[in-house]
Amino acid sequence: MKYCKKCTMPDTRPGITFDEEGVCSACRHYENRSKVDWKAREREFAALCDKYRGCNGPGGYDCAIAVSGGKDSHYQVYMLKEVYHMNPILFSVEDNFPMTEAGKHNLQNISEEFSCTIISCKPNISVQKKLMRHFFEKYGKPTWYVDRLIYTYPLHMALKFNTMLLCYGENVSFEYGGNADEETYSARDQIENGVAVGMPMEDLLIDGITEKDLSLVMAPSKEELSRLDPFYMSYFFPWNSYYNYQLA
Question: Smallest gap, in angstroms, from Cβ of residue 174 to Zn ion?
Answer: 13
In terms of CB distance, is 4 or 127 closer to Zn ion?
4
Nearer to Zn ion, 95 or 175 (CB): 175
Nearest approach, Cβ of 32 to Zn ion (angstroms)? 13
The nearer residue to Zn ion, 7 or 83, going by C-beta atoms, is 7
- Please provide residue 216's backbone torsions phi and psi, each rounded to the nearest 5 degrees: -75, -20
Question: Distance between CA atoms of 81 and 77, rounded to whole angstroms?
Answer: 6
H helix and E strand count, the chain: 11, 5
Identity of the amino acid at 129: K
| Residue 7 DSSP symbol | T
Q: Do 171 and 235 meet the contact criterion of CB atoms below 8 Å apart?
A: yes
Least spacing, CB of residue 18 vs Zn ion, in Å:
8
CB 123 within 8 A of CB 217: no
Binding site for Zn ion (CB under 5 A): 4, 6-7, 9, 24, 27
Q: At what angle do helices 144-161 and 125-139 cross, to 10 degrees?
A: 130
Do 167 and 64 touch, CB atoms closer than 8 A?
A: yes
Element (H, E) at 150: helix 144-161
- The rounded Cα 242 to chain-centroid distance in angstroms is 19
Alpha carbon of residue 211 to chain centroid: 25
With respect to Zn ion, which residue has the nearer C-beta, 21 or 211? 21
Q: Which is nearer to Zn ion, 3 or 78 (CB)?
A: 3
Minimum CB separation from Zn ion for residue 205, in Å? 40
Least separation in angstroms between residue 23's CB and Zn ion is 6
Question: Please, what is the minimum distance in Å from the beta carbon of residue 223 to Zn ion?
Answer: 39
For Zn ion, which is the closer residue by CB, 32 or 126?
32
Whether the CB-CB separation of 63 and 162 falls below 8 Å is answered with no
